[in-house]
């Protein structure tokens, strides 16, 4: 983990990791926290306040009357939604500017992460009948290590990214060859810094691992299923590159093919709604 930790520390000198995330996460993990506690934390970040009010008044949430106070926004959205919005906002703020004549695109990565977050939530709720909030967070953050790498080790990262094809070697193998670490390890460490639940951190760490004992309904299983589906629909982080399914996930997918077919048909519209919400 030493190389991953070094890259994170160098990234922090370029872009400050938003401290409000760890504060909100502590509140989420504290069963005695209240909506008022969340309101106090959010008030300390004017940019987040503006984003929150913009989002809650978007067509996605369908409120009848305009929401113009933090307290009402907090009451309408709830603590989990607030936390996920803040995390999504943080992910956007950490991304760099697009550069011409470069094969890697922050916009494409953002679309991929958004698609994965939405798909994870849909899989959790539709296929496994469990709450999808943590699944969304896992999906939206799973490639956060790529954002860090490209801004700290741009030249080495681009060698790895340009070498990535549909066939092996996989991205993590290329990263380890050129950078000495990979985005899964970096994301795992960041998830720990942000005090995210361990299953989310482990899913970020393991989302490129193929394990026979993988449980489809686990955070890692849901994330890998999501990455497979979104890549099949053209939302991969690099055109033409997709992840293979572990045998146990492939068997589960085959056994539930009709449910996944309907989910895949509905996914593009869900993605468009969220993109419009965050791009307004």
Reported as a single tens digit per residue, the pLDDT across 161-219 is 999 988 888 999 999 999 999 999 999 999 988 888 899 999 999 999 887 789 999 99
**Mean pLDDT computed over every residue of the chain:** 87
Dist CA 251 CA 224 (whole Å):
13
In angstroms, the CA 56 to CA 73 distance is: 7
Asked if 134 and 123 count as a contact pair (C-beta separation under 8 A), the reply is: no
In percent, how much of the chain has pLDDT > 90?
48
How far is 150 from 25, CA to CA, in rounded Å?
26
> How far apart are the C-alpha atoms of 202 and 180, rounded to whole Å?
20
Confidence band (pLDDT; 50, 70, 90) for 100?
A: low
Alpha helices in the chain (DSSP H): 2-14, 19-29, 35-43, 46-56, 70-94, 106-122, 133-141, 144-152, 154-163, 171-179, 183-193, 198-206, 219-232, 247-255, 257-279
How confident is the model over 107-148, as pLDDT tens digits?
899 889 999 999 999 999 999 999 998 999 999 999 999 999
| pLDDT for residue 278 is more than 70 | no
Is pLDDT of 280 > 60?
no
> What are the structure tokens assigned to 232, written together?
């099949």
Summarize the confidence of residues 212-235 as an average pLDDT: 94
**What is d(CA 221, CA 120) in angstroms, rounded to the nearest whole number?**
10
Residue 118, pLDDT score: 93
Is the N-terminal amide bond of 262 cis, ω within 30° of 0?
no
On the question of pLDDT at 16 being above 70, the answer is no
Burial code (b: 16+ CB inside 10 Å, e: under 16) for 20-56 equals bbebbbebbeeeeeeeebbbebbeebeebeebbbebb
The single residue listed with the structure tokens 């539709």 is 126
The vertex-255 CA angle with 269 and 126, nearest 5°, equals 35
For the chain, helix (H) and strand (E) counts, in that order, are 15, 0
- Give me the number of domains the chain comprises: 1
Q: What pLDDT is recorded for position 18?
A: 66
Nearest CA to 117 among 95, 144, 143, 135?
Answer: 135
pLDDT tens-digit readout, 56-70 = 887 667 677 888 888
Q: Which of 276, 206, 214, 280 is closest to 250 using CA atoms?
A: 214
Taking CA atoms, 182 is separated from 149, 258, 270, in Å, by 8, 35, 30
Ranges assigned E (strand) in the chain: none
pTM summary value? 0.86
Give the domain extent around 116.
2-279
pLDDT in tens, 238-251: 888 888 899 999 99
DSSP string, 179-216: HSS-HHHHHHHHHHHTT--HHHHHHHHHTT---TT--T
Residue 102 belongs to domain with CATH number: 1.10.3210.10
């Amino acid at each position: 983990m030493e190389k991953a930790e070094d890259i994170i520390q160098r990234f922090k000198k370029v872009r400050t990791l938003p401290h409000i995330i760890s504060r909100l996460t502590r509140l989420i993990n504290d069963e005695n926290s209240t909506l008022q506690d969340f309101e106090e934390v959010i008030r300390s970040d004017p940019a987040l306040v503006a984003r929150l009010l913009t989002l809650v008044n978007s067509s996605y949430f369908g409120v009848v009357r305009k929401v113009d106070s933090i307290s009402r926004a907090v009451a309408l959205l709830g603590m989990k939604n607030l936390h996920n919005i803040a995390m999504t906002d943080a992910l956007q703020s950490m991304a760099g500017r697009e550069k011409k004549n470069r094969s890697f695109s922050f916009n494409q990565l953002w679309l991929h992460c958004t698609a994965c977050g939405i798909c994870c939530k849909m899989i959790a709720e539709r296929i496994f009948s469990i709450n999808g909030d943590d699944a969304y967070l896992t999906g939206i953050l799973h490639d956060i290590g790529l954002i860090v790498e490209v801004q700290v080790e741009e030249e080495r990262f681009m060698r790895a990214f340009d070498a990535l094809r549909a066939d092996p070697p996989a991205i993590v193998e290329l990263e380890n060859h050129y950078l000495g670490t990979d985005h899964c390890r970096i994301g795992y460490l960041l998830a720990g810094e942000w005090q995210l639940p361990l299953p989310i951190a482990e899913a970020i760490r393991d989302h490129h691992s193929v394990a026979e004992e993988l449980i489809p309904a686990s955070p890692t299983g849901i994330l890998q299923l999501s990455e497979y589906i979104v890549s099949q629909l053209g939302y991969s982080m690099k055109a033409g590159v997709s992840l293979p399914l572990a045998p146990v996930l492939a068997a589960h997918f085959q056994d539930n093919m009709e449910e996944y077919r309907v989910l895949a048909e509905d996914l593009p519209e869900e993605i468009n709604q969220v993109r419009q919400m965050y791009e307004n």
